[in-house]
């Protein structure tokens, strides 16, 4: 197993969006078990008892980008739609999943500063097939050392 030593160079690929942004910061999606289920009864003697929930959540994530004005056209075309997303980590490992493009939020445009924006995604865990099928995120690993 290769540990990530640096966040550079993490790349996002979005099906249907190309060539209009470059990543500055990437906040990969969290994994969330959703808490616990209380199993405590009157038969417990000292401790409250709990079990984990069955379903897990792939959390919302965001990407800070430098962008071109063409980003508006591409974002408008896919905003609110389910897309295949691939996060390529610096090690070459990839995380592949489906997500809804929820927001494209440009920062204030200021003289002398690079225009930046934040793209926010909500993982759907559903394919784009008709009908959609539940899809678990897939981590593909590489064996080469970087």
Using CA atoms, how far apart are residues 75 and 50, in angstroms rounded to an integer?
43
Residues across the chain: 146
- Residue-level pLDDT at 1: 67
Separation of alpha carbons 113 and 6, rounded Å: 25
- 145: three-class secondary structure by DSSP: coil
Domain ranges of the chain: 11-32+55-140
State pLDDT tens for residues 54-108. 999 999 999 999 999 888 999 999 999 999 999 999 999 999 999 999 999 999 9
Taking the C-alpha atoms of residue 105 and residue 111, their distance in angstroms, rounded to an integer, is 18
The mean per-residue pLDDT over the stretch 7-35 comes to 94
- If one counts every other C-beta atom within 10 angstroms of the C-beta of residue 111, the result is 4
Specify whether the CB–CB gap between 112 and 125 falls below 8 A: no
Contacts of 83 (CB under 8 A, 6+ apart): 14, 15, 16, 17, 98, 99, 100, 101, 128
Average per-residue pLDDT in the chain?
94
Identify which of 129, 103, 131, 130 has the alpha carbon closest to the alpha carbon of residue 117: 103
pLDDT band, residue 18 (cuts 50/70/90)? confident
């Amino acid at each position: 197993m290769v540990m990530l030593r640096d966040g550079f160079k993490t790349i996002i690929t979005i099906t249907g969006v190309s060539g209009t942004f470059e990543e500055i910061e990437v906040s990969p999606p969290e994994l969330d078990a959703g808490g616990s289920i209380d199993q405590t009864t009157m038969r417990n003697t000292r401790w409250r008892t709990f079990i984990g929930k069955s379903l897990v959540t792939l959390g919302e994530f965001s990407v800070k980008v430098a962008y071109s004005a063409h980003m508006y056209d591409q974002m408008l075309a896919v905003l609110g739609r389910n897309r295949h997303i691939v996060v390529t980590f610096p090690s070459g490992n990839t995380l592949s999943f489906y997500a809804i493009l929820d927001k494209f939020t440009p920062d204030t445009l200021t003289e002398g500063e690079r225009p930046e924006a934040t793209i926010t995604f909500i993982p759907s865990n559903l394919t784009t097939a008709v009908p959609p099928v539940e899809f678990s995120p897939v981590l593909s690993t590489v064996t080469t050392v970087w």
